[in-house]
Structure 1
Amino acid sequence: MTKLTLGSHPFLLGFDQLERLVERTAKSGNDGYPPFNIEQSDRNAFRITLAVAGFGEDDLSITVEDRQLVIRGKQAEADETRVFLHRGIAARQFQKAFVLADGVDVAGATTVNGLLHIDLERAVPDTIVQTIQIKKG
């Protein structure tokens, strides 16, 4: 019996890229740090919120690389003169990646009370009906 994958299904033409995106996302190495939420704020609007306590705006970067939203955090070198009796607040660098569907764009980003909010919007495509002429062969 032949295994049928998403990219090889006869009714799904041109979706082989979707299968590659799923594989790339699985390999992106996203662990649980920092914790995050994803909310749908409207029919075509989403918000990703990351808990980034201790990171300033200059310590964070947000890029879109090949339809992949990448959030990186790296704090400046720690002050060597500080002596911690207990260190429970994580200060390690991180990278989070989210694959964006075609038509989903970053609308903006803000930090509030140690949370990084990234707003996404999906463009509503126009409905187009196209008639194809059939030529005699």
Structure 2
Amino acid sequence: MANARCQRPKLDEQLLLMYRQYATLYIIFIVDNGENELAILDLIQVFVEAMDRCFNAVCELDLIFNMHKIHYILNEIIVGGMVIETNLDDILSRYKEQCKLENESDQQIQGIKAMAKLRHQINLEGHIKTLQKNLKQGLKTATKT
């Protein structure tokens, strides 16, 4: 069961610190004083459920080693301080699209690295220069005879 609390930071009375505890995870949002507290708690719930589905039982290590993926999820939910999506299926489909693009990009980068390594190993430019030099020498000796 999740614990939820609201607390006013002492730095600024215009802000409200809201958090929920899920096992060992604490999800904290700092919002404007005028925000609906129940809506923010629901937003935290949506965020945690989305992470839970993406990481199959989210834990601290998922947050640490996949911060960019956490940002993908949060950016699908909130844009410019406005909540734009709370439907988990839509959030997850966009997340999967982003992961697919990331994997394709990684594969392309690996392909480019492999080609560069192969090119370095083969040294085509050096072989072509050697062939040109040998061809010129062969033509010179052929014209002399």
The alignment's TM-score, normalised by the length of structure 1, stands at 0.25
Flag the structure with larger Rg: 2
Which is richer in strand? 1
